[in-house]
């Protein structure tokens, strides 16, 4: 663990080429990106539960903790989850040894609507992704999956909103991907900070 954390104190070679922050940030935020190539190395139960534990400590409105995580790690479980993915996503995500469906409870404990449930669960996904990177693992959130079928097959209550399926595992070589995806298997960049921030009010 200490060796992994130490390695994250500096930018990886591929990240340094493609990502240039305008202001200094911790390398962990830049080193975390979403590859599609996964090796067949298994994720230990301890690491998986550490990642989910970290996600569970995200902030939430009234500490309602609306996030819910349904994970698949056995061959039988993974076959069901892979069947939920769109054809494009199934091509690469089938290599991931763990798939995690992220959902959130739309209701508070007293039955009232919980308006920020999606916002809070997004924070939990961020924590999950960063903790995975700290452990030397990669994540990729997938929006293209059959939500109705997932709800039916996984026995998910109607009060849970389904957000994404997260592929989790150790990053593999991009040669396992199709030629088109190999070209895209690099850390993406971000638009200029000035395009997404405003001081005081939104400028016309």
pLDDT > 90: percent of the chain: 92
pLDDT at 7 over 70: no
Q: Which domain holds residue 85?
A: 2-7+35-172
Instruction: State the pLDDT at residue 155.
Output: 98
pLDDT digits (tens, 9 = 90+) for 87-102: 999 999 999 999 999 9
Query: CB neighbours of 80 closer than 8 A, spacing ≥ 6?
Result: 72, 153, 154
Residue 201 maps to a domain? no
pLDDT digits (tens, 9 = 90+) for 51-97: 999 999 999 999 999 999 999 999 999 999 999 999 999 999 999 99
Residue 94 maps to a domain? yes
Query: CB neighbours of 181 closer than 8 A, spacing ≥ 6?
Result: 36, 91, 92, 174
Global pTM? 0.94
Residue 16 maps to a domain? no
Instruction: Identify the helix (H) or strand (E) that includes residue 174.
Output: none
Number of domains making up the chain: 1
pLDDT digits (tens, 9 = 90+) for 124-135: 999 999 999 999
From the list 126, 132, 165, the residue with the least C-alpha distance to 147 is 165
Residue 28 maps to a domain? no
């Amino acid at each position: 663990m200490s060796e992994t954390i130490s390695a994250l104190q500096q930018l990886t070679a591929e990240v340094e080429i493609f990502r240039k922050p305008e202001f200094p940030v911790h390398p962990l935020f830049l080193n975390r990106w979403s590859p599609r190539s996964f090796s067949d190395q298994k994720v230990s139960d301890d690491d998986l539960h550490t990642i989910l534990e970290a996600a569970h400590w995200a902030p939430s409105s009234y500490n309602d903790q609306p996030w819910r995580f349904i994970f698949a790690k056995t061959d039988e479980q993974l076959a069901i989850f892979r069947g939920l993915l769109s054809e494009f996503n199934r091509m690469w995500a089938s290599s991931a040894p763990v798939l995690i469906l992220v959902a959130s409870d739309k209701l508070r404990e007293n039955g009232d609507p919980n308006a920020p449930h999606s916002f809070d669960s997004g924070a939990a996904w961020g924590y999950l992704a960063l903790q995975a990177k700290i452990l030397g693992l990669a994540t990729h959130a997938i929006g293209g999956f059959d939500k109705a079928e997932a709800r039916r097959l996984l026995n998910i209550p109607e009060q849970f909103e389904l957000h994404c399926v997260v592929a989790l595992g150790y990053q593999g070589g991009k040669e396992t991907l199709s030629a088109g995806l190999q070209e895209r298997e690099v850390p993406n960049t971000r638009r200029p900070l000035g395009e997404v921030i405003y001081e005081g009010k939104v400028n016309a």
